[in-house]
Amino acid sequence: MPREYAWGVFPTELTQHLPIDDELPDPTYCFFRGITIRAPRSMVYQWLSQLRVAPYSYDFVDNLGGSSPKHLLDLPPVRIGDRFLIGKVTACETDKHITGLMLQDSMWSKVFDNLGGTYYLYDHSSGTCRLLVKLNARLGDRLIKRWFAVGILRFGDLIMMMKQLRTLRDLAESSARNLR
C-alpha cells in the first residue's frame, strides 16, 4: 500500500480508482489535491486543457517568467500524445479527465523513477464540480533520492499545485459568470 499525502480532498476521494491507477499501478507514494469549483465540468475542462501550454501556478518558477493565458485559447481537443505539463497525455475523456506520465528524458526523471497524474472532474452539487488530482510516484530504493523526491512532492508541488488549482478555479468561475 503506498503512502498517501492529501490536501483539499474528501476521505471518499482517497479510495477512488482513477485513470492514473491503470497507467502507473503500484506506486510508492500517492499525492492527492482537490478543490470545489462553482462552474460546470465542461468549463473547467476547457481550462484544464490549457495545461498543455502553461502551468497556471507561479509563472516565474514554472513558466520561466512567461505568463499563463488568462483567457481561453482556441486549442484543438486534447489527444493522447499531447504535451502536458512535464509529460505527455496518456489517457483523456472530454469533460472528465486528463491523465499524463512524465517524459523519461525530462530533468525530473533523475528524481523520480516514474511519475504521473490524473486531473479528474466530477459533478459535486448544484452548479459545482470537483477537481481531483492524483499523482502516483514510483521511487527507487536510494534513500537520499527518495527523501528528496518526497520532499519535492510534499512541499514544493503542494505549494505549486495549490496555486494552480486556485488559479484554474478562479478562471473557470469567472468564465462561467461571464456566460450568464
pLDDT of residue 121: 98
> Strands across the sheet with 29-37, in order?
3-7, 29-37, 129-138, 114-123, 97-102, 87-93, 83-84
Task: Report, as ranges of residue numbers, the positions in the chain whose pLDDT lies below 50.
Answer: 1
pLDDT of residue 144: 62
pLDDT of residue 169: 97
pLDDT of residue 115: 86
pLDDT of residue 142: 66
pLDDT of residue 1: 43
48 vs 50: CA distance, rounded Å: 5
Domains delineated in the chain = 3-179 (3.30.530.20)
Tally: H helices and E strands in the chain:
5, 7
pLDDT of residue 137: 86
pLDDT of residue 114: 84
pLDDT of residue 29: 85
